[in-house]
Amino acid sequence: MASGGWCSRVDSRWLTAYGPLVRAQVRSQAQYRASFVIDVAGSVLFGVLDVVAVFVLFRVSKTLAGFTFADVFLMTALANCAFAIADLLVGNVERLRVYVRSGLLDAVLVRPLGVLTQLAVMDVAARRVGRVVVAVGVLIVAAVNAGLALTAARLVLLVVAPAAGAVIFSAVFVGTASVAFWWIESGELGNALTYGGHDFTAYPMPIYGTVFRRLLAYGLGFAFVAYYPALALLDRRDPLGAPAGLGYASPLVAALVAAAAGLCWRRGVRHYRSTGS
Amino acid sequence: MRYLVYAVAGFRRYATYRQATLAAVFTNCVFGFLRSALLLAVAGASAGAVAGYDEQQLATFVWVGQGLIGVVSLWSPPELADRIRSGDVVADLLRPIDLVWQLLAMDLGRATFALMTRLVGPIVVGALAFDLFAPRRFSTYPLFACSLLLATVICFGCRYLVNAAAYWLLDARGPQIAWTLCNGVLGGLYFPLWFLPSGAALLIVVATPFPSIIQLPLDILVERGSPEQQVVLLSVQAVWAIVMLAVCREVQRRGERRLVLQGG
Amino acid sequence: MTVIEARALRKEFVVRVKAGVLRRESRVIAAVDGIDLTVSRGDMLGYIGPNGAGKSTTLKMLTGVLYPSSGVVRVCGFEPVPQRQALARRIGVVFGHRSQLWWDLPLRDSFALLRHIYAVPAADHAARLSRCRKLLDLDPFLDTPVRQLSLGQRMRGELTAALLHGPEVLFLDEPTIGLDLVSKQAVRSFLAGIGDAGDTTLVLTTHDLADIERLCRRLVVIDRGRIVHDGSLDELHARYGSRRRVVVDLDAPLVTPLALPDVSVESIEADGRRITYALEGGRTTAGELVRRLAELASIRDISVLEPAIEDVVARLYADRDRHGAGA
């Protein structure tokens, strides 16, 4: 079934349609120039805010679960970067329940493109680009600030980790949005794992209670967004006892989580088509 | 009397959103776990107390704070702005009742329902998972109740003003974003404001309405300071509530005039 | 050549009904209850029925939005849901009450986007667009953002959008809903032109029976998920006893009533000086009626009213309500 979109092969038609779709979005948003500027400024500020929060916390405390400011700053920067990219790519799917309710999904289903890709670009917020740019900048600052002993492997990890993290967050966006196929009234349920996931990954895992940590860090793979990559980059041991270098496994975890989310999405689309909601 | 009717309508309306309420409480609880883990870790690194809060107080700050989000309705969708933009607001203005008071009455009805669901939910979950702080002075309870009411009124005022921007702006997203940023950072949601340098924190508390929505009610509840200080915090809220309502009335008056002159 | 083929098509929904404070009962409701339908290339099919009869559900199953519970459906040789994307390039869909255009973009940009989405060769796209521009008079608002268009203008845009990739079948769900009379006429005559060209198949659901009279050579009436009539408009009239009427104005009331086979008096007004006769069956023609009447009285004015499809359908639906009340 090609309609799933998520894992379906990328065909050239999609690529040629994607560019114009994104351009059209940017053009239509640029019409409201003042709003556009405010949107960009807002998204940048929200990005900066996560960093400010770390600063404030370390103002009143020297360490956090044994980690210094530089360590936590690096984790926050990695999480932020991954989230910003995911939000840019598929953040719009969280509006799925709105589309289901308004019937817009039907219009999407009669077009010759994948469902997920159409939804993702339906409101590609150009403003979200601003947040990605800031996040990348902050990551560079955090990496420098941490004084990383950069080997080739670590340099690769520094690039791969945000990408893998972005895949994990994208999967969470898609997976939680799929809930709307079954439960339209789910409201902001997805936020718990998307925005919540962002907050969760920004700090060292040992601060969380055991059950909560197991569920989110390992159940959903959130520990592999920032925590384990940061440990590998910083050459630190995991206080929780995981083997060193686990951070390099992030892409693998990302692939698993993405596959699971893809399955959810396909099941969701199938469910919608059999019930019509 | 007729305002009571609106309040009841507000209550009823939200009472029908049972599933959405459940989903929201779930989300609040997830954030409750996240934030309390973080703040307790901060406190743990500083011998169990930080910026004048002990661990119990911090946990309470977080969990009751998550409940407060629902009571004051921090993130409600911009319904009024949509009605203004579509012109439907004219139907509201035709009624022989002031729009601001009408909306406030409905909002208080909504808050009453939220009190029983959105506030109680996170408190129960938080109390099961953490040691929460129970107020030691009986006087704290009535003070907190008043504080809740004032917080709801102030938050209503802020939301109303953000929405009313639609009388003048085609797209009210800017004020909406500014509001979300302000209530998060300056309101005490991300971290207790007293984590900031005390001069800055004091300035924010006095000069902006945002701390009066989340931070001050929670400070009153966890008995930060003496009973006299609680009363001072409450007075700050009261002043802000009066200011906000006055501004709302004036903005509505001008908005209506603009609507009349320009025909929407 | 057959473009649409449905056999024993069925769609069930599970409805949860409140049965007590906490208990909910699941009930299965067949929105479409075994439909057989064959549509040939170039057909203009009107698909009508009361609210909730299963029109939209059928349309959704034909366009690949909904998966049938059972039965077989082929559109342009494709199985709609599994071959959704391939099918999408061969059909056009217009939903009357929701827009498929980009809200903030001018029509021109929406059309350009659709060319990329459907991968239409530039020359074909340009040719179809210029045809629509002429026929639908799009030029005055081609550069206006969709959100600023009137409903009529928007609908003309939607029609164009659905036709730019040269679909073999055009599905229209209530295409004239909410439009003013002038816009309705414009949409109808445009669609009639498409139908007359003969290579596009039209399937349209509507509540506006004028659409049907103007556009549809074939009428399928669906009621409670089943097809209750499939044939021409005339056949529908014949079957549900629609009548032609002859209204005569007389100088003075008739002294002796006129009695002719298959003629009945439907109403007498103006103290007997205006009589409405209904002709049913074929034993008496309107001409004969008038000739016989002229022998009895002096006729001032005559008008012949053709049967209105509204009457037929109203009667059909009224039947449903009577029977439906017990169900």
The alpha-carbon gap from A196 to the nearest alpha carbon of chain B, in Å, equals: 6
Please report, for chain A, the start and end positions of each structural domain, with discontinuous segments joined by +: 2-275
Residue C246 is predicted with a pLDDT of 86
Percentage of chain B exceeding pLDDT 90: 66
In this structure, are C205 and C252 located in the same domain?
Answer: no
Q: What is the DSSP secondary structure assignment for residue C8, as one 8-state letter?
A: E
Give the range among A1-10, A26-35, B142-151, C292-301 with minimum mean pLDDT.
A1-10
Q: Which of A3-7, A208-212, B144-148, C67-71 has the highest mean pLDDT?
A: B144-148
In this structure, are C54 and C117 located in the same domain?
Answer: yes
State the virtual CA torsion across C71, C77, C79, C82 in degrees, nearest 10. 170
Taking all residues of chain A, what is their mean pLDDT, rounded to a whole number? 86
For residue A140, count other CB atoms closer than 10 A to its CB: 13
Please report, for chain B, the start and end positions of each structural domain, with discontinuous segments joined by +: 2-262
What band does C180 get if pLDDT is binned at 50, 70 and 90?
confident
Residue B174 is predicted with a pLDDT of 80
Region B187-209 average pLDDT: 93
Q: What is the pLDDT of residues A140-175, one digit of tens each?
A: 999 999 999 889 999 999 999 999 999 999 999 999
Region C25-48 average pLDDT: 89
Q: Return all residues near B264 (Cβ < 8 A) that are at least 6 apart.
A: B87, B90
**Domain end residue (candidates: C208, C238, C268):** C238
Q: Measure CB to CB from residue C65 to each of A1, A106, A113 and give the nearest one.
A: A106
* Residue A134 one-letter amino acid: V
ipTM above 0.85, yes or no: yes
Q: Give CA–CA dist B61/B82, Å, rounded.
A: 34
CB-based contact, A53 to chain B, within 8 Å: yes
In this structure, are C84 and C169 located in the same domain?
Answer: yes
Structural domain includes residue C321: no
Question: Which residues of A fall within a CB distance of 8 Å from B26?
Answer: 189, 192
In this structure, are C160 and C188 located in the same domain?
Answer: yes
pLDDT of A116 higher than 60 = yes
Angle of helix B18-45 versus helix B55-72 axis, rounded to 10: 150
The alpha-carbon gap from C213 to the nearest alpha carbon of chain A, in Å, equals: 28
In this structure, are C299 and C226 located in the same domain?
Answer: no
Region C151-179 average pLDDT: 90
Structural domain includes residue C314: no
The per-residue DSSP string of chain B comes to: -HHHHHHHHHHHHHHT-HHHHHHHHHHHHHHHHHHHHHHHHHHHHTTTEETTEEHHHHHHHHHHHHHHHHHHTTT---HHHHHHHHTTHHHHHTSSS-HHHHHHHHHHHHHHHHIIIIIHHHHHHHHHHS-PPPPSSTTHHHHHHHHHHHHHHHHHHHHHHHHHGGGT-S-THHHHHHHHHHHHHTTTSSS-GGGS-HHHHHHHHHH-SGGGTTHHHHHHHTT-S-HHHHHHHHHHHHHHHHHHHHHHHHHHHHHHHHHHHHT-
Interface present between A and C (3 or more CB pairs within 8 Å) = yes
Q: Quick check: C88 and A111 CB within 8 A?
A: yes
Q: Quick check: A110 and C65 CB within 8 A?
A: yes
Residue C176 is predicted with a pLDDT of 85
Q: How do strand C91-95 and strand C24-40 relate by DSSP bridges?
A: unpaired
Q: Give CA–CA dist B197/C183, Å, rounded.
A: 66
Q: Quick check: A21 and C117 CB within 8 A?
A: yes
How many pairs of residues across A and B have Cβ atoms under 8 Å apart?
109
Tell me which residue range forms the domain holding C262: 243-306
- Kindly identify which residue of chain A lies nearest to residue C85, measuring between CA atoms: A112
Q: Could you tell me which residues are beta bridge partners of residue C276?
A: C247, C267
Q: Give CA–CA dist C103/C116, Å, rounded.
A: 18
Residue A222 is predicted with a pLDDT of 96
Question: Which residues of C fall within a CB distance of 8 Å from A181?
Answer: none
Q: What is the DSSP secondary structure assignment for residue C50, as one 8-state letter?
A: S
Q: Quick check: A39 and B33 CB within 8 A?
A: no
Q: Quick check: A273 and C112 CB within 8 A?
A: no
Q: Quick check: A209 and B17 CB within 8 A?
A: no
Q: Give CA–CA dist C170/C63, Å, rounded.
A: 10
Q: Which of C76, C105, C109, C116 has the highest number of chain A CBs within 10 A, making it the mutation to test binding with A?
A: C116
CB-based contact, A101 to chain C, within 8 Å: no
Q: How do strand C201-205 and strand C169-173 relate by DSSP bridges?
A: parallel
What would the two tokens of residue B241 be? 């509530």
pLDDT of B96 higher than 70 = yes
Q: Quick check: A187 and B173 CB within 8 A?
A: no
**Higher per-residue pLDDT: C101 or A30:** C101
Q: Determine the distance from the C-alpha atom of residue C187 to the mean position of all C-alpha atoms in its chain, rounded to a whole number.
A: 13
Percentage of chain C exceeding pLDDT 90: 29
CB-based contact, C28 to chain A, within 8 Å: no
In this structure, are C203 and C132 located in the same domain?
Answer: yes
Q: What is the pLDDT of residues A33-90, one digit of tens each?
A: 777 788 788 888 888 888 889 999 999 988 999 999 999 999 999 999 999 999 988 9
Taking all residues of chain C, what is their mean pLDDT, rounded to a whole number? 85
Chains that touch C (3 or more CB pairs under 8 A): A
Q: Determine the distance from the C-alpha atom of residue B219 to the mean position of all C-alpha atoms in its chain, rounded to a whole number.
A: 14
Residue A277 is predicted with a pLDDT of 55
Q: What is the pLDDT of residues A126-149, one digit of tens each?
A: 677 888 999 999 999 999 999 998
Q: What is the pLDDT of residues C222-252, one digit of tens each?
A: 888 899 888 887 787 777 766 778 888 888 8
Q: Give CA–CA dist B89/B259, Å, rounded.
A: 10
Q: Quick check: A17 and C93 CB within 8 A?
A: no
> Could you report how far apart the first and last alpha carbons of chain A are, in Å?
20
Q: Which of residues 84-143 of C touch A (CB under 8 A)?
A: 84-86, 88-89, 91, 93, 95, 98-100, 102-105, 109, 112-113, 116-119
Residue C119, sorted as left (phi over 0), alpha (psi -120 to 50) or beta, turns out to be left
In this structure, are C210 and C115 located in the same domain?
Answer: yes
Long-range contact set of residues C286-289: C-beta below 8 Å, sequence gap at least 24: C286/C244, C286/C246, C288/C260, C289/C246, C289/C258, C289/C260, C289/C263
In this structure, are C155 and C119 located in the same domain?
Answer: yes
**Higher per-residue pLDDT: A173 or C314:** A173
CB-based contact, A110 to chain C, within 8 Å: yes
Domain tally, chain C: 2
Q: Give CA–CA dist C256/C198, Å, rounded.
A: 54
Q: Quick check: B27 and A192 CB within 8 A?
A: yes
* Residue A177 one-letter amino acid: A
Residue among C266, C275, C271, C257 at smallest CA distance from C311: C266
Q: Give CA–CA dist C311/C264, Å, rounded.
A: 17
Q: Give CA–CA dist A96/B215, Å, rounded.
A: 34
Q: Greatest CA separation found in chain B? A: 63
Q: Give CA–CA dist A249/C66, Å, rounded.
A: 40
What band does C113 get if pLDDT is binned at 50, 70 and 90?
confident
Structural domain includes residue C324: no
In this structure, are C107 and C213 located in the same domain?
Answer: yes
Side-chain-facing half-sphere of A189: CA atoms under 13 Å: 20
In this structure, are C120 and C222 located in the same domain?
Answer: yes
Q: Which of A108-122, B35-49, C245-259, C283-297 has the highest mean pLDDT?
A: B35-49
A47, A138 contact by CB (below 8 A)? yes
Q: Is C236 helix (H, G, I), strand (E, B) or coil?
A: helix
Give the range among A19-33, A73-87, C276-290 with minimum mean pLDDT.
A19-33
Region B112-118 average pLDDT: 95
Residue A2 is predicted with a pLDDT of 37
Q: Measure CB to CB from residue A34 to each of B35, B174, B195 and give the nearest one.
A: B174
In this structure, are C275 and C233 located in the same domain?
Answer: no
What band does A4 get if pLDDT is binned at 50, 70 and 90?
very low
Residue A34 is predicted with a pLDDT of 74
Side-chain-facing half-sphere of C217: CA atoms under 13 Å: 13
Q: Could you tell me which residues are beta bridge partners of residue C278?
A: C245, C264
In this structure, are C299 and C281 located in the same domain?
Answer: yes
